[in-house]
Structure formats: C-alpha cells, structure tokens
Amino acid sequence: MRLPIQINDNSAEPLYHQIESQLRALIVSGQLTENTLLPSNRELAQSLGCSLITIRRVYQDLEAEGLLRSRQGSGTFVAKVDSEAGTRQLRQSAEEAIRAAVDAGLAAGLERAELERLFAVELDRRCGPKTGDRQDPS
Amino acid sequence: MTEKGEAGMREMNTEARAAERETAGAAVWLHGAVQLRKAFRLGPLNLEAPVGCVTAIVGPNGSGKSSTFRLLLGLTAADEGEIRLLGERVGDGLDDTELKRRMAYVPEEDSKIEASLRGTSQAEFVSAWYPAWNQGEFERLLREFEVEPSKRLGKMSKGMRRKFELALALAREPELLLLDEPSSGLDPLSWRKLVGELHRYMERGRHTILMATHILDEVKRLADYIAIMADGRIIGVYEKDELLSSWHRFYVGPGLGGAVSEGDVADLPGLVRAEESGGGTCRVVTSRAWEAEGWCRERGLPITGQRALELDEIMEQLIRQAR
C-alpha cells in the first residue's frame, strides 16, 4: 500500500514530524480505517526516501497516542479511533495551521486589518459570503 | 574512550535511541581501536553499527575508510582497542571461520589473483564454503545485473566484475554485509539496480550493512546512520534524516525594524555562520533549522529564502569544526 504522504525536503520541520502529522491526519479523518495494515518500517522508509529510524519513531509515537497498534511478527495496524478524540485532534491541527498562517502574515509585516481582509476573502471563496452580508436578492 | 570519541558517540544522543541500539545489538562494534603506521594514525575508532540498519561511512579520500575495513576483517591488526563483529572478537588470531561464514565483504579493488578463473568456477568454489549459499538467488542476481558468469573474471569489464562480486556476496545471504565503495565502476542503470537489491537484502531478515562510499546519493537512498571520517578518526555518527534536515541556509530580513545585521542573529539557535548579504538581509547557516525558524518567527524576523544544506556541505562544516 502506498500512503499519500508528501515530504518537503526543504522544510526545517523534522522528517518524523512531517510524516507523523500527515499519518495522524489520515487516521483521525478516517481515510485509513481501523485494522488497516500499514507498510513495514523498511518498506515505508524506502518509499518515502527516509531512514528506518524515522519510521520507527513515527510508528512508536502514534502507537503511544493510541492511533496504531503493533502485533509482534504481523505488523502495524490502525487502531480503533475514538471519534471524539479524532475530532479534537483535527481541531487542534487546524488551530495550529491557522496560527502558522498568522505568524507568516505578521512576519511579512501585514497589519491586523489586512490579515482579517485576507482571511475574509479566502473564507468567502470557500464557504460563500457571510449570511449577514448576503445581498438581498429582491 | 578519548574525548573526541565520546563527543562522536554523543551525537547519537537521545536515550530512546541508545536503548534501542542496546536491545538491537551492534553488528559492528569498534571500541578505541587504534592502528599506528609510520605516516598515519588510524583511530581511536569508536563505532557501533546497529543490527537491522545501514550505516554509511563517508569522508574525504585518505580519511581511513578502507583501512577501517581491513581492521574489521582482521586483515591488519589493531595496536589498541577492541573490535567485534556479530558479537565475536576480531583480530586475536582466533579461528574466525564460523564468523566469516556469517558475513560477506566486497573490497574496493577486485582481486587480481582470481583473474584467470571463470565466474562459474569461482561461484562453485565460494558456494562450497558458505552453508547459507542460495544458488537460485545467485542466478537471479546475475540475470538482474546482466552478468555473463562463464567469462573469465579478468576479462570482465570493471562494472561487470563488480556486479559479479556483489552477486557472489549477496547470494551467501550474510547477516552482515561490508561494502567498500560498492558502486565504483557501475553505470547509472546498474547503480539503481544495486540500490534496489540492497534494499531487498535489508527487507529479508535481520541484516546489517556497513558501507564506505563517496557517492552522496547512495547515502541518501540507503543509509540509516552516517559515520563521518576525517584524518583517521570518526568525528561523529548521526541519524541520517536528522542530520540532513537540521542544517539549513536562511536569508533573514529585512524585518519590521529594518535591515537585519549579523548582531541581530548572533543568538540564533545552532548558528554556524552569519553574513550580511545586501538588501537588509543576512545569510545564516544553522545546524538547528527548526528551532532557528521558530526563533526568527518569535522575533518577527522574516525568512525570505531557505534551503537544506547538501550532505557534502554539512560534512565540510563538521570536519572543519572537528579539526
């Protein structure tokens, strides 16, 4: 099985962290279902072009979080995800991403108003204009 | 262990990793090994190549890589220190027949003595010595590498001879594979096949590779650990992904406060070098990229350009620091 994980070589974010957050998202979002057998350490390391140690660390961390479980000799499987914990996880990573976007904006010297405008434009594009702002069709 | 040696080992620092290595065991274990020669001092060498992993030794020409292999094989004796392969002591003049059956070594230079032998007779000879010899695997490898085994070894091209020797080593199904510049003389296509075969070998059981190489792509594709050698010493052993992702070059600034000077980034985590690079920006090299990124963000210093250093650039920095 090939996991849809993308590695950014020029990011300073450690590889294990990049892989861990993407794999976590695949699990909590339900894209990888319970009891799915994941590739072996060596297989995944090879397909992502990273070292065995990195994959071992990812699997160990996610196992400690309760998202994976390993059975001696038969491999690493997706564990049963508590859906409430899953939602919490997703929300947490979304909040983190928003904070990172704000950081990037501030670092680029954008003012609060400008940032708000950018967020509004993006939200309008994705979700349609805010109900209160909707033009009266009449 | 000398001060330098300890510093080297400390690079593989976290406790978890140390514990992991202890339980997995070291397939190659060098402890304070020293070899004194007239013009060159090799060591003290301290290295643990964990079972189940690929450890690559990299370093400039003449740094002692091939001499280290000769020590490991007991071809030359150490003047001090201890060497163990697969848990067995090496170099005491003990009978190492059993140990040698569990490992394979492909030297950098192909032997001239066997030049008149045909590949097939050489294989027959070798197979008789190794109980784990896998004839089916040997034939598959020869087909895969497109080697004509009926040729005399001396008549094979450098690349074909190389592939023959690699097939001979892999077919022995060794627990430990020692490779000195395995891809020397290989064309790019054969090289890719070799990398594929070495991956395959690693997937088939508790196997270990220790290889010396100067091909950086080989290190990237194969290694789990990187041992850097310079001037006859191992200056550090690093986990590959950690090493390759922690060295970055950034362009910082200009920030809200205007131009960024060298002084502004003096406390940047892992700072190796900083120089003003025009347009209010400062070019910095850091060995702790992730922390450095966070540090800049907290201070509102924009990072306008960023790239990971290549392994050769990292090596250059580490060797300079060690000297």
Of B202, B221, B297, the CB nearest to A42: B202
What rounded mean pLDDT belongs to chain A? Answer: 86
Fold of B1-102+175-185+205-241: Rossmann fold (3.40.50)
Contact assignment for B303 to A9 by CB distance below 8 Å? no
Best A5, A9, A52 residue to mutate vs chain B (most B CBs within 10 Å): A52
Interface list for B 147-176 with A (CB within 8 A) = none
Residues of chain B with CATH 3.30.70: 247-322
Q: A91-120: per-residue pLDDT in tens?
A: 888 888 888 888 888 877 888 999 999 999
d(CA B302, nearest CA chain A) in Å: 5
Nearest CA in chain A to B196: A46
Supply φ then ψ for residue B230, to 5 degrees: -155, 140
B201 contacts in A (CB within 8 Å)?
none
Radius of gyration (Cα) for chain B, nearest Å?
A: 23
Residues of chain B with CATH 3.40.50.300: 1-102+175-185+205-241
Of B20, B52, B302, the CB nearest to A107: B302
Respond yes or no on whether ipTM tops 0.90: no
Q: Is B134 left (phi over 0), alpha (psi -120 to 50) or beta?
A: beta
pLDDT band at B37 (very low <50, low <70, confident <90, very high): confident
Q: CA B290, B294, B295, B301 torsion: positive or negative?
A: positive
Q: B89-142: per-residue pLDDT in tens?
A: 887 777 788 999 999 999 988 888 888 999 999 999 999 999 899 999 999 999
Contact assignment for A107 to B17 by CB distance below 8 Å? no
Q: What is the DSSP letter of B318?
A: H
C-alpha distances out from residue B278 to A107, B251, B254, B260, Å? 19, 10, 10, 10
Best B222, B245, B251 residue to mutate vs chain A (most A CBs within 10 Å): B245
Whether the CB-CB separation of A1 and A39 falls below 8 Å is answered with yes
Contact assignment for A53 to B223 by CB distance below 8 Å? no
| B202/A30 Cα distance (integer angstroms) | 32
Measure CA B93 to chain center. Answer: 28
Nearest CA in chain A to B201: A42
A8 contacts in B (CB within 8 Å)?
none
Contact assignment for B241 to A14 by CB distance below 8 Å? yes
C-alpha distances out from residue B176 to A80, B19, B86, B258, B317, Å? 39, 21, 8, 57, 31
B290 contacts in A (CB within 8 Å)?
12-14
Please report, for chain A, how many H helices and E strands are present, in that order: 5, 2
Supply φ then ψ for residue B197, to 5 degrees: -70, -35
- The verdict on B297 touching A (C-beta cutoff 8 Å) is yes
Contact assignment for B224 to A16 by CB distance below 8 Å? no
Nearest CA in chain A to B308: A10
Q: How many CB pairs under 8 A join A and B?
A: 68
Radius of gyration (Cα) for chain A, nearest Å?
A: 19
Contact assignment for A46 to B289 by CB distance below 8 Å? no
A110 contacts in B (CB within 8 Å)?
none
Contact assignment for B224 to A52 by CB distance below 8 Å? yes
Q: B277-317: per-residue pLDDT in tens?
A: 988 899 999 999 999 999 998 888 888 888 999 999 999 99
Mean pLDDT of A47-61: 93
* pLDDT cut 90: percent of chain B above it: 71
Is pLDDT above 90 for B162?
yes
Closest CA to B88 of B15, B20, B145, B29: B29
Q: What is the CATH number of domain B247-322?
A: 3.30.70
Model pLDDT, residue A133: 52
Instruction: Provide the token pair at B322.
Output: 């060690």
Q: B71-90: per-residue pLDDT in tens?
A: 999 888 899 999 999 998 88
What rounded mean pLDDT belongs to chain B? Answer: 89
Of A12, A43, A52, the CB nearest to B289: A12
| B147/B168 Cα distance (integer angstroms) | 11
pLDDT band at A131 (very low <50, low <70, confident <90, very high): low
